[in-house]
Amino acid sequence: MTDDDLLRYSRHLLLDEIGIEGQQRLRDASALVIGAGGLGSPVALYLASAGVGRITLMDHDTVSLTNLQRQIAHDMASLDQPKVESAAARMAALNPGVQVHALAVKADAALLDEEVPRADVVIDCSDNFATRHLVNADCVRHGKPLVSGAAIGFDGQISVYDSRSGTQPCYACVFPPESGFEDAACSTMGVFAPLVGIIGSLQAAEALKLLAHIGEPLTGRLLMLDGRRMQWSEIAMQRDPACSVCSAG
């Protein structure tokens, strides 16, 4: 690390759990962020500020005025720009020492099969079940930990899915793709602006813990937030031995 790095990350270096070794792990790591909107904004900014060496952002959407109520990586100057380019510019301004790869494309099976193996952690900040299941399936296939979050209205949830041990559930164990869950869109249901910041910040924290090899990851537990009462609840999750994704074959 350079002298500037030691100064920039000094508050991390003071933490016994991180220190120089943990910060170096972050610097050497690669993260894939799916979605650069409400959840993806705090995730991208915190990963960049914390010094994750290589960050790939994937989102096909552009910035609109309705996004600015909650998507803090963007501003008025970003209107009509691809979200990944807007977020990448903000990340570079925050920390020019990180490498940001902006992919202004929709996540599909072929692209994920190319990008997921390159990542040390995948953070799903998408807003629909179809994408979440695609991301989960690829993480299971390539043995990558997945940090998944969701937020709508005043309700949010977050968990870490890591099937590498063979004992923890994947996303499909908890939300089976054949169950027919319906997507709820912010454009019709609305979303409390700080909610995505809360959930996204937690996603960033879990990703950083995984990359730095510190703490206990949120595997096997689903945290849910009722933003009206600001009350958390937790559900223990079990691996489904009949799961169509992580138990296939």
Amino acid at the residue 44: A
Which residues, 6+ apart, have CB-to-CB distance to 154 below 8 Å? Answer: 192, 195, 226, 227, 228
* Among candidate residues 52, 55, 59, the one with its CA nearest the CA of residue 74: 59
186 is catalytic: yes
What are the tokens at 221? Answer: 């537990």
Catalytic residue among 125, 173, 186, 246: 186
Sign of CA dihedral 79, 83, 88, 94: positive
DSSP H helices in 116-154? 129-142
* Class of residue 205 by CB neighbours under 10 A (exposed 0-12, middle 13-18, buried 19+): middle
Give Cα 141 to chain centroid, integer Å.
Answer: 18
Residues forming the active site: 186
